[in-house]
Amino acid sequence: MKQRTISKEVGYSGIGLHTGKKVKITFKPAPVDSGVRFVRVDLEGNPQIAAEISKVIKASRETSIGEGEVKIQSVEHVLAALTGLDIDNLIIETNGDELPAADGSALPFVQVLKQAGIVDQEKERECLELKEPVSYVKGDVYLVALPNEGLKISYTIDFDHPVLKTQFASFIIDEKTFTKEIAPARTFGFESEVKQLREKGLIKGGGLENAVVIGEKGILNQEPLRFPDEFVRHKILDLLGDLYLVGVPLRAHIIALKSGHGANVELVKKIHGPKEKRAIPKEEMEEIQKRIKTEKILDIKDIQKILPHRYPFLLVDRVIELKEDKRAVGIKNVSINEEFFQGHFPGHPVMPGVLVVEAMAQVGGILLLSKREHSGKLAYFTGIDKVRFRKLVVPGDTLRLEAEVIKIKGRMGKMATRAYVGDKLVVGAELMFALVLREGE
């Protein structure tokens, strides 16, 4: 399936559910791989916020994203429309800090986006196919994501209320099903909590035109329920909105029990987690690059940001020289406490030659991955050539590990590497690398 955007600009106006403020949003086409970005056109400099899990600042009753002073509230129903319509790239301009509540559902957004026309783009979309179950459990809230070919949601709500008790629904989500069965389901609230929420400064824009309000004897709205189980369908809608924050379309079966935005966001973090943790945050990357430019050394903390390796397999202590695309020099103090001395020729401690090569490869990896455009990738060691073990390395030695680029072409690289103790060459080898995206990206 190709990535999708809309073919022309289209607008929608309304009031925010919580703020009660009038707001106009404009959906605009966006190029491939650009994702979804919100733009605050009412603020100086028109700051942008990407629809990403790392930008979530609040997830209770609604989902808000933000950065610094800039925030956008109640993004979940618009994002649900994007999940349901398989839209990958979009600019959403807004002149306020909360998106319109519309009629409490995602249908008005679906209608305007369809009216603009949804179009295929030149690049394939990448999906995240879950390889193993991921779950989030807290108290009586359960969210379990299981590997599945497509996206499927099975949801159970359970309230202790005379009108709304337990509802269950399960749908395989595609554009047609979403548009017909999920998008029209409106948000809901209980009459008994309206006063309390208003006192908290919430739902200032809330009314019977944008929410189903449930009283002790039935719903207060003139408009009847759109589905007998509209409530659980809306919870599915909310979950689909929060799932957009995974960053790529998810292929999984999600089983939810009594979930809400807070739990949804926690599940997304777990699904998304490894990538988030391993890619170097922008500011840290800038700091590392500044150090490289001024030829300050990289310490073990910097190295751990660049390489995924950890004790006992991280074999570089610091980097004392680094010239992008050219050369790096690392240092490894070989101590008697190293794990490998335990069993490698007991009584006669020698550092295994292949581990010296691994240390050389790690310096090569740092050289490749410290480049901004490679941040967050992995350097796989694909081959060794011309390797010579010349001298033994023993406890107390300090290894000086040098890596020099022979060539880099596309994702493949070749380096000349040498390890010295003092001025003696102990190991020399040519190493081949392939740069790959981390799993799940």
Q: Choose the catalytic residue: 18, 261, 309, 348.
A: 261
Q: What is the per-residue binding string for Zn ion in 95-124, x denoting contact by CB under 5 A?
A: ------------------------------
Minimum distance of Zn ion from residue 301's CB (angstroms): 42
Residue type, 236: I
Measured at the alpha carbon of residue 183, what is the angle toward residues 247 and 132, in degrees to the nearest 5? 40
Q: What is the per-residue binding string for Zn ion in 134-173, x denoting contact by CB under 5 A?
A: ----------------------------------------
State yes or no: is 272 an active-site residue: no
Q: What are phi and psi of 69, to 5 degrees?
A: -80, -15
Measured from the CB atom, the residue of 238 and 397 that comes closer to Zn ion is 238
Q: Choose the catalytic residue: 272, 344, 348, 374.
A: 344
- For helices 230-243 and 76-84, the axis angle rounded to 10 degrees is 80
Minimum distance of Zn ion from residue 77's CB (angstroms): 6
Q: How far apart are CA 327 and CA 356, in angstroms?
A: 18
Which of 153, 206, 219, 212 lies closest to 187, judged by CA?
212
Measured from the CB atom, the residue of 247 and 260 that comes closer to Zn ion is 260
The DSSP line for 164-198 is --EEEEEEE--HHHIIIIITTPPPEEEHHHHHHHH
Please, are residues 188 and 208 in contact by the beta-carbon 8 Å criterion?
no
Please, are residues 147 and 133 in contact by the beta-carbon 8 Å criterion?
yes
Select from 52, 86, 230, 238 the one that contacts Zn ion (CB under 5 A): 238
Minimum distance of Zn ion from residue 236's CB (angstroms): 10
Measured from the CB atom, the residue of 64 and 187 that comes closer to Zn ion is 187
Please, are residues 116 and 8 in contact by the beta-carbon 8 Å criterion?
yes
- How many residues bind Zn ion (CB under 5 A)? The answer is 2
Three-state DSSP state, 253 = strand
Measured from the CB atom, the residue of 178 and 420 that comes closer to Zn ion is 178
State yes or no: is 18 an active-site residue: no
Q: Considering the rule CB under 5 A, would residue 259 count as an interface residue with Zn ion?
A: no
Pick the stretch among 193-201, 234-242, 290-298, 299-307 that binds Zn ion (CB under 5 A).
234-242
Measured from the CB atom, the residue of 5 and 259 that comes closer to Zn ion is 259
Radius of gyration in angstroms for the set of CA atoms belonging to the chain, rounded to a whole number: 27
Minimum distance of Zn ion from residue 250's CB (angstroms): 19
Q: What is the per-residue binding string for Zn ion in 171-210, x denoting contact by CB under 5 A?
A: ----------------x-----------------------
Question: Cis omega before residue 29 (within 30°)?
Answer: no
Measured at the alpha carbon of residue 173, what is the angle toward residues 171 and 179, in degrees to the nearest 5? 100
Pick the stretch among 138-146, 237-245, 289-297, 338-346 that binds Zn ion (CB under 5 A).
237-245
Minimum distance of Zn ion from residue 187's CB (angstroms): 4
Residues facing residue 427 across a β-bridge: 389, 419
160: buried, middle or exposed (CB in 10 Å: 19+, 13-18, 0-12)? exposed
Minimum distance of Zn ion from residue 136's CB (angstroms): 19
Minimum distance of Zn ion from residue 162's CB (angstroms): 23
CB atoms within 10 A of CB 187: 27
Measured from the CB atom, the residue of 261 and 377 that comes closer to Zn ion is 261
Measured from the CB atom, the residue of 187 and 362 that comes closer to Zn ion is 187
Instruction: List, by residue number, the catalytic residues.
Output: 261, 344
Site residues for Zn ion per CB under 5 A = 187, 238
